[in-house]
Amino acid sequence: MRQTKDELTELGLDINKDIGRDLGSESRNRESFDSAIVGLYIALLVMYAYLVAQYSSYSLPILIFMAIPFSFPLLFPGLYLTGNPISFFVVIGILALAGIVVNNTIILVDTANALLKENGGNISKAIAEATASRVRPIIVTSLTTIGSLLPLALSDPFWEGLAFTIVFGLLSSLIMVIVFFPGYYVLFQTVRQKGLSICKALIFRVPTDCLNK
């Protein structure tokens, strides 16, 4: 039943304060989407805090997080080509994707850091050897994950957005990490070593936290 503004006023109702809109399932979908976005931010903060504690460094986790934007070049075009708009399930897929793709960079960073200590600080050699030794397990684990999700993406429209998000994002990250991440690692470690040199030049005794940041 529809009522005019005057009729609502006679009933003692304020149209701006007492009257609301219920959009039904669309309203609930919006709330779920917003909750997923908040969950994504929280998950990133938790991962960053864990990596800071693991490596005793505030900057190294940022390098590891490069795997996340590496997922985007093929992710959004892939979603567009498969007819999947940004939705609650896509955001959940990005949340899962963020946890999966950082593993590739963690593997490379751990291996390269260990080799960096062994070869006397040759950054280019360390990351080249790390990539050569770890490229096969990175490819195999990524492709097995993609292969396991493709049947779900192709057979179940309900989970299609989530599955395709992980598939395209993981494929993009795989290519970008192997091709471009070594260059970012060299640049990062070069700047970091120069920063340590400046730190040593400014003070006679270098605090432990200065060396680790």
Give the CATH number, domain containing residue 77. Answer: 1.20.1640.10
**pTM of this structure:** 0.73
Contact assessment for residue 68 and residue 102, using Cβ atoms and an 8 Å cutoff = yes
- Spans of the chain, pLDDT less than 50: 8, 16-18, 22-24, 206, 211
Which residue range is the domain that position 61 belongs to?
Answer: 29-212
Per-residue pLDDT, 206: 47
Per-residue pLDDT, 49: 93
Does residue 171 form part of some domain?
Answer: yes
Does residue 18 form part of some domain?
Answer: no
Does residue 17 form part of some domain?
Answer: no
Number of domains into which the chain is organized: 1
Does residue 191 form part of some domain?
Answer: yes
